[in-house]
Amino acid sequence: MTRNVWALTQRELQATFFSPIAYIVAAVFLVATGYLFMGYTLKPGEEASVRVLLQNMAWMLIFAVPLLTMRSLSEEYATGTIETLMTAPVTDVEVVVGKFVGALVFFAALLLATLVYVLLLSWYGAADMSVVAWGYIGMLLLGALYVSVGIFASALTRYQLLAALVGAGLLGVFTLFVDALAEIQGGAWRTVLGYINILYRFEDFTKGMFDTRGLVFFLSSTAFFLFLTVKVLESRRWR
């Protein structure tokens, strides 16, 4: 299984890194995060922390990640290569995991590019590196969840743009929408909606708070969306 997943991951990475869209997304992402970094984080007198930067990045990735993952399965549907893939000696799970790992590696590379901000931050202020590291771990977990949602959306349709919209929409529901709803409703609703609010769960990582609830949430949610993706892929066989 591992060999198959690795082979699929390589194929996915090749497709991604040879696609100019990934570089465009990465460049736009870095310009935007750079703007936020200079505007809100690297301000004399402010706390030397990546918290605000990571929170802003999490917000931006709601739209960026679906753009990265939109082609993972939709393109296979559109070009018909999905049939080849389905008849190849790989399981649906291997296909989904391969796609997921491929997208996650690219996401990690994107994150790696933002470490330049950490360097600048530590140059101008003695930021707590344990908090920074924990924040980046959280970012990786958040990225994994976003990617799994993006791939799930991509499995639903052969149209890449639609897949991106569905992915961003789903992520929007579990972030911006529930956040706004919690603000409006307040009280007990705020607590209940907080359980499914991805950004709210992510905050702990940016603050340097280790909480097993957050870890479980991100890992289980990622697994759940990957499971749903597998089920969607499986459904092609019996529909």
Q: Two tokens at 58?
A: 């999490």
Residues 49-108 that bind another protein (CB under 8 A): 49
Q: Which helix (H) or strand (E) holds 87?
A: helix 81-87
Q: Between residues 94 and 204, which has the closer beta carbon with respect to another protein?
A: 204
Among 1, 116, 161, 180, binds another protein (CB under 8 A): 116
Q: Give least dist CB 166 to another protein, A.
A: 17
Residue type, 191: T
Angle at 89 between CA 87 and CA 90, to 5 degrees: 95
Torsion region of 211: left, alpha or beta (phi above 0 gives left; psi -120 to 50 gives alpha)? beta
What lies within 8 Å, CB to CB, of 26 at 6+ separation is: 110, 113
Min dist CB 76 to another protein, Å, is 20
Say what the alpha-carbon torsion angle 62, 46, 116, 207 is, to the nearest 10 degrees.
Answer: -50
Helix (H) or strand (E) holding 164: helix 160-172
Q: Which of 38, 88, 161, 180 binds another protein (CB under 8 A)?
A: 38
CB of 99 to another protein, least distance (A): 19
8 Å CB contact between 21 and 9: no
- Contact track, another protein, 174-193, x by CB under 8 A: ------------xx---x--
Contact between 115 and another protein per CB under 8 A: no
Nearer to another protein, 159 or 207 (CB): 207
**Is 113 one of the binding residues for another protein (CB under 8 A)?**
yes
The answer to the question of residue 209 lying near another protein (CB under 8 A) is yes
Q: Can you tell me which of 7, 10, 125, 173 binds another protein, judged by CB under 8 A? A: 125
| Residue keyed to tokens 């280790």 | 210
Q: Which residues contact 176 (CB under 8 A, 6 or more apart)?
A: 62, 199
Interacting residues toward another protein by CB under 8 A: 17-18, 20, 22-24, 26-28, 30-31, 34-35, 37-38, 41-49, 113, 116-117, 120-121, 124-128, 130-131, 134, 186-187, 191, 195, 203, 207-213, 215-217, 220-221, 224, 227-228, 231, 234-235, 238-239
